[in-house]
Amino acid sequence: MEVFWAKGFVGASLADLTKSMNINKPSMYSAFGNKETLFIKATQHYIDNNMQAHLGVLLAPELPLKTRLKNYMMSIVGMQCSTDHPKGCYLVLCQSEVAGGDIPEQATKLLLEIESAPIALLSDLFNTDNEAITLGLNENAASNALTLYTALKGTAAMARSKVTSTELEFVIDTILAGVFNTSKNYSTPKAILQ
């Protein structure tokens, strides 16, 4: 996972992968079949161990929506900027390689499925959360979700360029302010306006 995270699918050579696992090429083929199968397993490991943890802060019911969204986004930014592993986001790096056509079919399919998950998650939140509905964020749920996801893909690129999480917090605050300020157009019930 760390090799794919640092170099992407295309940049990760078999020599890099076998060296990081401390095995030889025949052992890698015996254990995983091929680079694509290894990549799929590494990607699933990344999701299970690095992405699932962020959901807890997003779904914490006792906090206001804006706080939950900021905590969720900053949790991801913190991971992107951490020195415990490669900078940026494993998924963003590998998803950007899909357009080049160099990633095999099953790995491409997985990356595209994963790409839609955060937007669906955030859209669902905007459509079902009582506070989001009261604020009118459900009126543009898909656009609001895309806005936040786009920001997170951008912070991944900036983290890879060694921008700190403290610097990126301003970006997150600005994006959230924009989303929540836009919702004010929808916050007054129509019956009051008539």
Tens-place pLDDT, residues 47-103: 888 888 898 889 887 899 999 999 999 999 999 999 887 888 888 899 989 988 989
Does pLDDT of 177 surpass 90? yes
What pLDDT is attached to residue 37? 95
Predicted structure pTM score: 0.86
What pLDDT is attached to residue 53? 82
Q: Where are the beta strands (DSSP E) in 16-172?
A: none
Predicted confidence band of residue 190 (pLDDT cuts 50, 70, 90): very low
Please give the average per-residue pLDDT across 165-186, as a whole number.
88
Residues in CB range of 158: below 8 A, 6 or more apart: 167, 168, 171
45: how many CB neighbours lie within 10 A of its CB?
Answer: 13
With contact defined as beta carbons under 8 Å apart, do 55 and 139 qualify? no
Tokens coding 123: 């859209």
Alpha-carbon distances, residue 108 vs 14, 42, 49, 192 (angstroms): 19, 14, 21, 50
Q: What CATH number labels 2-186? A: 1.10.357.10
